[in-house]
A and B are shown apart, each in its own frame.
Chain A
């Protein structure tokens, strides 16, 4: 498991990419769902 998380020494690059991508998409969905339920 920890070997998987280390990504062969590229953890910052790999998880930095996937993390920011996921955060961006999650934020967009959150804002859209909020807009959907607001009015």
Chain B
């Protein structure tokens, strides 16, 4: 792979279209498979009934909301360190999709919480608050970028905000351990066996892959728009 060749926006532009096409196709196939598993293969939960089927989008959306932020901050940092034009464009391309998944995680969490916890929202729950702060970090990144006319200066200012905000990611992740508030701990982690049926877990993982492929496709389409609009 000629990595540095693709660091130029012009040479990356056609590759981005190919990536968007194939990742978009993969997202559709994976989403159909994930929905099939989630609704027709995975059994009804003994405690939560059918309401638990919300987790097939809630958990993958929450994972993506954090993952996209880290990738966005990574590109923002690369742009700051090496002054590469495409890096800042990548960060800007990821922010709206990250904000969208953060909103979806909050929305589906509320609709899951109502039948399960008896409430849509709890002020003061550590997980809910840190995820809400993540949404504001995405909004802040986009607003700051939009408020500065020169795109290269906007890239640098927004990159600083993105990098400072990374501190919120481990806070979200560990919030359920550090503060024992309403949101339950992880049912799936890298260090322990999953605490759910195999079909439920596979439905969640396939949906996570679908959202991941979707995010790549959306970011690639958006970075093409940014490259065109900056006229570079």
Q: Which residues of A contact B (CB under 8 A)?
A: 4, 7-10, 12-14, 16-18, 20-21, 24-25, 28-29, 32-33, 35-36, 39
Residues A17 and B225 in contact in the complex (CB < 8 Å), given A8-B44, A24-B100: no
- Which B-chain residue is minimally distant from A35 (CB atoms)? B225
Closest Cβ of chain B: how far from A17's Cβ, in Å? 4
Closest to B27 in A: A25
> Contact: A36 with B54, CB < 8 Å?
no
B221 at the interface (CB under 8 A from A): yes
Say how far A32's CB is from chain B's closest CB, in angstroms: 4
**Chain B contact patch, size range:** 20 to 34
Q: Are A21 and B222 in contact (CB under 8 A)?
A: no
- CB pair A24–B221 under 8 Å, yes or no, is no
| Interchain CB contact under 8 A, B107 and A17 | yes
Given pairs A7-B53, A28-B97, A32-B225, 4 additional interface contacts (CB within 8 A): A13-B114, A17-B57, A21-B104, A24-B100
Residues of chain B lying within 8 A (CB to CB) of residue A17: 54, 57-58, 107-108, 111-112
Q: Is the CB of A13 within 8 A of B51?
A: yes
Measured between alpha carbons, how far is A35 from B229 in the docked complex, in Å? 10
User: Which residue of B44, B61, B218, B225 is within 8 Å of A29 (Cβ)?
Assistant: B218
- Contacts of B54-94 to chain A: CB distance below 8 A: 54, 57-58, 61
Q: What is the predominant secondary structure among interface residues of chain B facing chain A? A: helix
Given contacts A13-B111, A17-B111, contact A24 B57 (CB under 8 A): no
5 CB contacts below 8 A, A to B, read A8-B50, A12-B111, A13-B111, A21-B107, A33-B221
Q: Report B114-135 residues with CB < 8 Å from chain A CB.
A: 114-115
Would you call B43 an interface residue if the criterion is a C-beta within 8 Å of the partner chain's C-beta atoms?
Answer: no
Q: Which of chain B's residues have a CB closer than 8 A to the CB of A4?
A: 39
Say whether B214 faces chain A, with CB atoms less than 8 Å apart. Answer: yes
CA A18 to CA B115, docked complex, whole Å? 16
Shortest Cβ gap from B30 to chain A (Å):
13
State in angstroms the CA–CA spacing of A22 and B96 once bound together.
16
**What are the residues of chain A within 8 A of B221 when measuring CB–CB?**
32-33, 35-36
Task: Find out whether the CB atom of A14 lies under 8 angstroms from the CB atom of B50.
Answer: yes
Question: B114: which A residues are within 8 A, CB to CB?
Answer: 13
B61 proximity list for chain A (CB < 8 A): 21
Asked if B225 contacts A36 (CB within 8 A), the reply is yes
Minimum CB–CB distance for A1 against chain B, Å: 13
> Are A20 and B104 also in contact (CB < 8 A) when A13-B54, A36-B224 are?
yes
Is the pair B214, A25 in contact by a Cβ cutoff of 8 Å?
Answer: yes
B107 touches A14 (CB 8 A): no
